[in-house]
Homo-oligomer: A and B are copies of this chain.
């Protein structure tokens, strides 16, 4: 991978001297960014460009070539790649467009490219991207003339869309945030975000990684990489709704993935998911400052109104604003011209025109052990206070570094002055107290988050894998879902607390089994084709006598007669009626992007009406399972409201882990619903009453 960023020599293929040739721009960018290696231009028309020869064919280039950059019409690409292979080139960036994003037929072209690449063990980025940038060595490969304002720094960017990538570069240049590496990944045919992310996590120059993705190549690997990354990873994942699916397909052929799963997976991996451009830039700004280590802020504002706005934002994001010590305030009170301000935190310095005093206040404040960071809000007119204000901003940066605490500076000034500050200062400038506070919140989130990653709970749990495998195989061979009793057996073999049950295929059997289990009983249809057994009348509860059982049995038989699929092999399941508890709903599925995913919610219509569910990608350990319970909106219900006792949370944790184990061990289980898991008071465990398992076809 390193060669994609640190080639000693680059050949740009598709260059000519005609006015609208785009390959020429690449050569031009390399020269303007002072690329430290050799540059060869290649194009069938030959000629001379910038005083250098254009070679008609790649084979004619005299030296060795580390990296080929291809920008020729799509149909020519397989041939050109083959020439590259023959020349001994092992890395290429294909910037040409017109592949699968254009038409289905063109997908075939991609196949040809892949075949050529495999033949030569050649890795390539693209097609349909705009190229790489490495600010360290001046490798600048986009085919449009690039902004020279880009500064070398520590933020690296992987973008699935060239246009969005360019926008990022523009915003970063405008905020004077330094860039390290940039990749426009295009159709991700050979090298994808995971390959590049893996490289950047180890890359010495990169400290923060920012991804723009429209689709995921392999969500699971992405999660594993991010959760192991010591560097912050921000992800801007678009293409979330049905209406954008169409354009994404036509653009970079992204497949739509379930947005909820994506949200959960990113969160679980410790990635920061950002929603829009402004959020990305706002977060990247704070990343250039020392990390916030606690939630205690000092807010210093020149305007009372801005202080109020900042206090609202601090309250929204859960920051604490410790009072300034009395002695401290007395020290500074003498600087005020007219005593029209009372001092507190937020500190409203409206009356203080002496800016060096601001710096003293900041220094005294950052020294304090009960302050983790500061928000400084300053408004000025350049005409009057340019010098002092700029000096103060510089001092704020010095103090921030000295005390290793972030100082978010929010400035209200004329456009020109803001532009000047952004261009000439490395201190990030925020334009509203809300955005500054939001950024500080993110900084703290990185300090605090404990990423479990995709780790199963260690230790042996008594499970009977063979028994489960046998049940699944039987159903799979018959090409049918699992019967209710089989599903419950599977869960039983994995240590789930399953309610005592028995099957019956005749009334006599049912009465016998009823006698054995003991009344009151529940009677259910065992056949799984009817998804909502309860709704269609396939469940009878509270049967107190054999007579009740008989009536219920007949009713299920009548029901079965109406549905041929149910009638054939008619079977009922008897269960001992369970005690009332809190109904929990658990489920899982194999997700195309992330593999096994589990979900948890509270029954009693909370899931259906409020959509209150928590997802995780499996496997999870105990800590992650606990965090699922903490995240549910209805947590109060589980903790006990209105004098009710708390539910057995550990029983839920245990069940979540077993569910995670089961779906991880048996990918052939496509979907599973456990509804309900009845959970009792703390210490009294739970019981699975019903389950539905669907197998992969």
Q: Which residues of A contact B (CB under 8 A)?
A: 73-74, 97-98, 101-103, 128, 144-145, 147, 149, 159-167, 170, 173-174, 212, 214, 238-244, 246-248, 250-252, 254, 275-278, 301-309, 311-316, 321, 338-342, 344, 346, 348, 350-351, 379, 381, 383-384, 412-416, 419, 422, 431-432, 434-435, 532, 534-535, 604-606, 608-610, 612, 633-634, 636-637, 641-643
Contact = CB atoms under 8 A, between A and B. Distances in A.
A251 B637 contact: no
Contacts of A534: 642
Contacts of A244: 307-308, 311-312, 314-315, 346
Contact of A312 (B74, B241, B252): B241
Given A174-B415, A244-B312, A278-B432, A163 B350 contact: yes
A161 B303 contact: yes
Contacts of A608: 636, 641-642
A383 B145 contact: yes
Contacts of A344: 246-247, 250
Nearest to A346: B247
B161 A304 contact: yes
A482 B303 CA distance: 48
A605 B637 contact: yes
A275 B311 CA distance: 13
A244 B413 CA distance: 24
Given A163-B306, A247-B308, A338-B73, A432 B102 contact: no
A432 to B, nearest CB: 4
Contacts of A240: 312, 315
Task: List 8 A-B pairs, minimum CB-CB distance, nearest first.
Answer: A163-B303, A161-B305, A241-B315, A244-B311, A251-B304, A164-B305, A98-B340, A276-B434
Contacts of A73: 338
8 contacts: A97-B340, A161-B304, A241-B316, A247-B344, A275-B434, A278-B431, A535-B642, A610-B634
A240 B379 CA distance: 23
Stoichiometry, as copies per complex, reads 2
Contacts of A166: 303, 379, 412
A304 B163 CA distance: 7
A305 B252 CA distance: 8
A377 to B, nearest CB: 9
A451 to B, nearest CB: 27
Contact of A432 (B243, B277, B312, B606): B277
A97 B249 CA distance: 61
Contacts of A74: 340
Contacts of A212: 305
Given A98-B339, A276-B432, A278-B435, A379 B605 contact: no
- The CB with the most chain B CB atoms within 10 A, among A103, A309, A339, A605, is that of A309
- The CB with the most chain B CB atoms within 10 A, among A384, A415, A535, A612, is that of A415
A612 B633 CA distance: 12
B252 A304 contact: yes
A580 to B, nearest CB: 15
Contacts of A248: 308, 311
Contacts of A303: 161-164, 166-167
B305 A162 contact: yes
Nearest to A184: B305
A210 to B, nearest CB: 14
Given A241-B315, A246-B311, A276-B432, 9 more contacts: A98-B340, A101-B341, A103-B342, A162-B303, A164-B309, A212-B305, A254-B308, A276-B435, A278-B431
A529 B457 CA distance: 51
Contacts of A379: 163, 166-167
Contact of A342 (B102, B163, B305, B348): B102
A511 B515 CA distance: 44
A540 B309 CA distance: 50
Contacts of A634: 609-610
Contacts of A247: 304, 307-308, 311, 344, 346, 348
Nearest to A315: B241
Contacts of A163: 301-306, 350, 379, 412
A180 B442 CA distance: 39
A145 B385 CA distance: 12
A239 B434 CA distance: 13
Given A145-B383, A305-B161, A641-B605, A348 B250 contact: yes
Given A312-B240, A432-B277, A434-B277, A250 B341 contact: yes
- The CB with the most chain B CB atoms within 10 A, among A246, A341, A381, is that of A246
A241 B321 CA distance: 12
B308 A239 contact: yes
Nearest to A323: B246
A315 B250 CA distance: 18
Given A278-B435, A419-B419, A608-B636, A309 B250 contact: no
A370 to B, nearest CB: 15
A577 B314 CA distance: 50
A102 B321 CA distance: 21
A612 B609 CA distance: 11
Contacts of A98: 338-340
A144 B350 CA distance: 13
Contacts of A243: 311, 314-315, 321
Contacts of A239: 308, 311-312
Nearest to A383: B145
Contacts of A641: 605, 608-609
A479 to B, nearest CB: 30
A105 to B, nearest CB: 12
A102 B103 CA distance: 71
Nearest to A432: B277
Contacts of A306: 161, 163-164, 167
Nearest to A102: B340
A324 to B, nearest CB: 12
A317 B239 CA distance: 14
A247 to B, nearest CB: 5
A97 B173 CA distance: 42
A238 B312 contact: yes
A229 to B, nearest CB: 24
A414 B308 contact: no
